[in-house]
Amino acid sequence: MDKKMLIIGYVWPEPNTTAAGGRMLQLIHFFLEQEYQITFASTAAESEYSYDLSSIGVSKQPILLNQSSFDTFLKDLDPDIVVFDRFMTEEQFGWRVVKNTPNALRILDTEDLHSLRIARQLAYKKAIPFTEQFWLDQDQTKREMASIYRCDLSLIISLHEMELLTKTIKIDKSLLLHLPMMYDAINGEEQNSWLHFEQKKDFVCIGNGKHAPNIDAVQTLKKEIWPLIRKELPLANLFIYGAYMPESIKQLNSPKQGFHIMGHANDAREVISHARLNLAPINFGAGIKGKLLSGMVCGTPSITTKIGAEGICENLPWNGIIANDAETFAKAAVLLYQNEDEWSIARQNGTAIINNIYNKAVLQQRLKNKIELLAKNLEGHRSCNFIGSMLLHHTLASTKFMSKWIEEKNSNP
């Protein structure tokens, strides 16, 4: 195992609390199978939900911002590949990677386009229409696009985001790779193990409490949607799961109304698999929603919004119903909850989506082929990316000296 990889994490992976954590663990397993010796480094503190990376042979390394000690660590490690977990880590450490290990392949795992999610959240809060121009006007968008250009390859999780980057921003496709969440194909044996319609009951909504779209979705359910569903299904219950729920959400707990705030789920797939329907009224966001893909893998159809379903299923039929206002959403939930035939069709739609778009074997080969192609001609690949070279030049001239100034200031308070 002589190939070395460094992953610079924005946070330590929490696959049981976030889709981003699950995504990172999928990448780690792939590179372990490719016989890379992996070191995961982060400035963040570990939490009670952090995955035990050492249990799968991954070395852990705490690092500090604006410290030349990272340069020494980087030179000693001398990785063949450096993966930046979200564009913020590339901003912080990218220039040091270029300076100290210039021959390392630089990969940005975007997770989702943060600038798109934040711009949509801003438009939602201001109650103004969201447009692509509004997104382009945000400083965060310019920062994220610059990060993509500076890297040799960016992994894009959503088909919609691939379209934005290639058609609106006009980033060359050679710098991008559509690589969504990866799952084993769902076979007949697995489908036969799923609970049947009559064995599944109630509704579930799941999402990390630190993620603004999830908090908004719970509030929307409580204030606008659940009262309409409960009126038609007075014995039904909705169970809300998610780590890090703020006190404002915990206070929405109302068992008498069938609205249950449950907190962290030790096994998200288990709670989703026992529910008859998965509810996700997402009003803003980006990327693809892991909770909805988990529902498909568990044989649980979903009701979500256009934003919730965005970039997930290409032209394949959705595994449930897409509804964008409270009344339509509630009617769709009641309809699918009571209609076994429609529900069964929705479940099969989910299987088709997973097997056709999220097939792990296909996606892993796609990533393997791309990395091998870049490794064979990295110099030529970079020579075609003039914008990236230009941005690296200015980053080395500005971010570098800002970081040096901070380091010097901290050492001489």
Output the tens digit of pLDDT for each of the chain's 413 residues: 589 999 999 999 999 888 899 999 999 999 999 999 999 999 999 999 999 999 999 999 999 988 889 999 999 999 999 999 999 999 999 999 999 999 999 999 999 999 999 999 999 999 999 999 999 999 999 999 999 999 999 999 999 999 999 999 999 999 999 999 999 999 999 999 999 999 999 999 999 999 999 999 999 999 999 999 999 999 999 999 999 999 999 999 999 999 999 999 988 899 999 999 999 999 999 999 999 999 999 999 999 999 999 999 988 999 999 999 999 999 999 999 999 999 999 999 999 999 999 999 999 999 999 999 999 999 999 999 999 999 988 776 666 655 655 565 566 65
pLDDT at 396: 65
Sign of CA dihedral 147, 243, 63, 290: negative
Please answer whether residues 262 and 249 qualify as being in contact, where contact means their C-beta atoms are separated by less than 8 angstroms: no
**Does 256 share its domain with 393?**
no
Buried b (16+ CB within 10 A) or exposed e, 205-223: bbbbbebbbbbbbbebbbe
Beta strands in 315-372 (DSSP E): 320-322
Please report, for the chain, how many H helices and E strands are present, in that order.
19, 13
**Does 192 share its domain with 257?**
yes
**Does 123 share its domain with 226?**
no
The angle at the Cα of 30, spanning 367 to 176, to the nearest 5 degrees, equals: 25
252 is in which domain, residue-wise? Answer: 188-357
Please answer whether residues 290 and 23 qualify as being in contact, where contact means their C-beta atoms are separated by less than 8 angstroms: yes
**Does 79 share its domain with 151?**
yes
Please answer whether residues 180 and 288 qualify as being in contact, where contact means their C-beta atoms are separated by less than 8 angstroms: yes
Please answer whether residues 106 and 94 qualify as being in contact, where contact means their C-beta atoms are separated by less than 8 angstroms: yes
**Does 286 share its domain with 386?**
no
The whole-angstrom separation of Cα 222 and Cα 350 is 27
Start-to-end CA distance of the chain, whole Å, equals 44
**Does 224 share its domain with 292?**
yes
**Does 129 share its domain with 208?**
no
The owner of tokens 């960016």 is: 154
pLDDT at 67: 87
Q: At what angle do helices 87-100 and 386-411 cross, to 10 degrees?
A: 90
**Does 28 share its domain with 174?**
yes
**Does 226 share its domain with 296?**
yes
**Does 149 share its domain with 289?**
no
- Coil, strand or helix at 259: strand
pLDDT at 410: 63
Least Cα distance to 206 among 304, 340, 353 occurs for 304
pLDDT at 66: 84
| CATH number of the domain that residue 198 is part of | 3.40.50.2000
DSSP 254: B
Phi, then psi, of 152 in degrees rounded to 5: -75, -30
Please answer whether residues 9 and 47 qualify as being in contact, where contact means their C-beta atoms are separated by less than 8 angstroms: no
**Does 169 share its domain with 299?**
no
Domain boundary among the residues 357, 379, 394 is at: 357
Instruction: Give the number of domains in the chain.
Output: 2
pLDDT at 408: 59
**Does 63 share its domain with 116?**
yes
All residues at 6 or more sequence positions from 375 whose CB lies less than 8 Å from its CB, including other chains: 105
